[in-house]
Structure 1
């Protein structure tokens, strides 16, 4: 019998069990925390780590972890229930828009207009998502775009991996090269007690070269799949994906009527308001959910749907993304187990001990890899900044490395695993929407992750050498 790679749910649950087992082995410990008025959060004090009473996590705690992860706010992340509810509402909204025929008609019109030039959508869209990543750390906000973009890519002759890659890797490289991202660069810089503009030039260079590398990588894969569909890593799902994403129950080509154009305007405007709300008005999941509830009602009215058509479509769309909502909760539960087991700070203290006595080049590259590993433990960029920068930044002074390089190493590292880490609800949720198995995604992304790591390490080493 052929072995099958486990599902996303199983992977996350097994990781939760593993972390619970580690709470029985890894010594429990805590840093003393002090209030940072600038950040408005408590941060660990350098050299204050001490062991505490162990709190090993058992089977009951493992089973409770997804529940706690669903509604318990941590010191560094929003509640998973807020994100999960947003995903369900988005699913309902997109289903209502789809039921008007506007999306299918829009896809058909787009394919007709591009007429063989679909490949140029890849750099343009990846550039837009990278802009969102570098400016405000676009992450959860990307989830609605998968349902919209993947059908376009499949209709263009590509596969679902191309659609997922454009969004996830596009936004990911933006986060990796964060220039003014308030949830990563600004928080990390404040925690390191420097200006967030320090190191801007190096981060911009990482952003540009990283984006170029990612675009070339995705375009080469897309061209290979279009020339030979069997080269797709998800070729075995080709027929099912076409039926699922292209709604190919009917071969009728829908025309882009005035009503459908109006629905697409509402659709586009809703996402424009979302971007403005997050970046300029400080909105988060509650406000965004309310936005799309209102947009759903307006779409139903403008699209001339009956009350039952609107509500039935909304419920069906929300049901389709229920698995994504559950994944977000399970992923957060893994972090709950580590925090409750008092091993998160122990892992950080171990990392602190690895950095002593290293040369400046070795130090900055060690910071990069330590942060990359810690990102698997703390998948929130702001949480990782608050937790690690108060420890890592002072250590840089002893190593003769500028603090802005430590901030750049942190954000480059935190942006990298967030494209592949199974502890991220955004990553696993996006793969669930795209119907891409985690093993297939790893096959696609790992070579790119290696190339990006080499690029960042070279640029960090050059910056240390010439600083």
Structure 2
């Protein structure tokens, strides 16, 4: 009697829950605090008033490993450290639900859908380009979160899925941010530390920006066409099935034609966002300053849209509740950094990687810097923070190795920027995945190939920059 062998099926592999993945990383980080010696650099203010590390000050300190209680307290501390962003996500969810309840967003999406009727895939490059300008010129990242729900609704209306809708907003901003055409938060800070003219070398960055957009557009348009032809090919097929009935019901209930109320709500929304962008550009507003503006948009927009105060309050809670998963993920992910900061191993990691770079031949040093920044982005996901930690170390090394400082800045901005699209410790990435209800494993499967193509493109540009002696101007 023969017994048939059971075939291995990749689809049957059960991927761990997002919280399980992140908590596992917290445990790994805690183990690292026992294995990696604790150390630190002294921080000083340079001539421009920027706090940076003193490259000659690294020293080892007494080991401070994370114990069991440290592991379990990492999440509460992570939530405390990111409370502003967590509440911001709740507010965006609540405000969007209020505006959506007025029917205004549905009408706007329908009008955009009719505009692109028969050529829906071209919505993707238009959105990518638009939001890339925000990333390239103002370093926008968290600021684009409010547009993710609109992108998702428009993508679904066009026959695509939530992954496409999320990407054509967030990947657009990421492309511009990474290319850093005039990004004050990575290129601006790094060039100041490197004593280069502000925004010098812009020509190559413009070409890089356009290259990222072309690659991103082709990748997303091909995926979108595949999903439209066969919805089962969607990476978030189960999510789309759950959301389809709700979307149809909402569309029928909210109508498709706008009136005076809808125009007033839309003007409130646009005016609020315009004021936020002005504040970000003029006064360098952060998430905290944006929150009251969004609250005002929700309340004023809801009243102009005909909602009662009680309805506004109840809809706000509905919207906030749907984002609980994503909001809490931010705190969980930050717990990884909390463990490493308490264990005082971050500076040791930076110091060790700088020693590796010194051992590389000069022809590979710039690419080595690029790879080092990709690695460090996991530990230091802040662009300006990473520049302050690494540029004082890498600029003298570049001078010794005969590498232009402009190439060094390019290696930094690309290593810091591109990987933010899949970096599990990135608060911004966790925020937009929470809004979209997309799990981290699903996003890796969807966006991972695009990020890899951008990373390879960045490496090519670094090599070209080195060959052309990419200088200050």
TM-score if structure 2 supplies the norm length?
0.92
Deviations 1:157-213 (A, max 9, x none): 001110111122111111110022111111111222322323322222211111111
CA distance in 2, matches of 1:208, 1:114: 23
The aligned counterpart of 2:218 is 216
The aligned counterpart of 1:342 is 344
Gaps of 5+ in 2: 1-10
User: Is the partner of 1:23 in helix, strand or coil?
Assistant: helix
CA distance in 1, matches of 2:199, 2:121: 35
User: Is the partner of 1:319 in helix, strand or coil?
Assistant: helix
| Aligned partner (choices 160, 163, 166) of residue 165 of structure 2 | 163
CA distance in 2, matches of 1:52, 1:350: 15
Alignment pair present for 1:68 and 2:77:
yes
User: Is the partner of 1:210 in helix, strand or coil?
Assistant: helix
Q: Displacement of 1:403 after TM fit?
A: 0.9
CA distance in 2, matches of 1:252, 1:170: 30
CA distance in 1, matches of 2:323, 2:417: 25
The aligned counterpart of 1:404 is 406
The aligned counterpart of 2:227 is 225
Alignment pair present for 1:395 and 2:397:
yes
CA distance in 2, matches of 1:295, 1:465: 51
Alignment pair present for 1:440 and 2:442:
yes
CA distance in 2, matches of 1:251, 1:310: 17
The aligned counterpart of 2:59 is 50
1:401/1:464 contact within 8 Å kept: yes
**Aligned residue-pair number:** 459
CA distance in 2, matches of 1:96, 1:410: 41
Q: How does 1:114-153 map to 2 (within 5 A)?
A: 114-153=116-155
CA distance in 2, matches of 1:140, 1:130: 13
User: Is the partner of 2:435 in helix, strand or coil?
Assistant: helix
Q: Displacement of 1:461 after TM fit?
A: 0.9
CA distance in 2, matches of 1:332, 1:187: 24
Deviates more, 1:255-264 or 1:403-412: 255-264
1:177/1:203 contact within 8 Å kept: yes
2:103/2:255 contact within 8 Å kept: no
Rate the CA distance shift 1:442–1:24 in 2: closer, same or farther, 3 A. same
Q: How does 1:196-215 map to 2 (within 5 A)?
A: 196-215=198-217
CA distance in 2, matches of 1:130, 1:103: 22
2:101/2:254 contact within 8 Å kept: no
The aligned counterpart of 2:455 is 453
CA distance in 2, matches of 1:84, 1:224: 35
Rate the CA distance shift 1:274–1:246 in 2: closer, same or farther, 3 A. farther
Q: Displacement of 1:106 after TM fit?
A: 2.4
1:360/1:464 contact within 8 Å kept: no
The aligned counterpart of 2:422 is 420
| Aligned partner (choices 301, 321, 333) of residue 299 of structure 1 | 301
CA distance in 1, matches of 2:254, 2:323: 27
User: Is the partner of 1:38 in helix, strand or coil?
Assistant: coil
The aligned counterpart of 1:22 is 32
CA distance in 1, matches of 2:290, 2:123: 27
Alignment pair present for 1:374 and 2:383:
no
1:39/1:187 contact within 8 Å kept: no
The aligned counterpart of 1:236 is 238
- Aligned-residue RMSD, C-alpha: 1.9
Alignment pair present for 1:100 and 2:112:
no
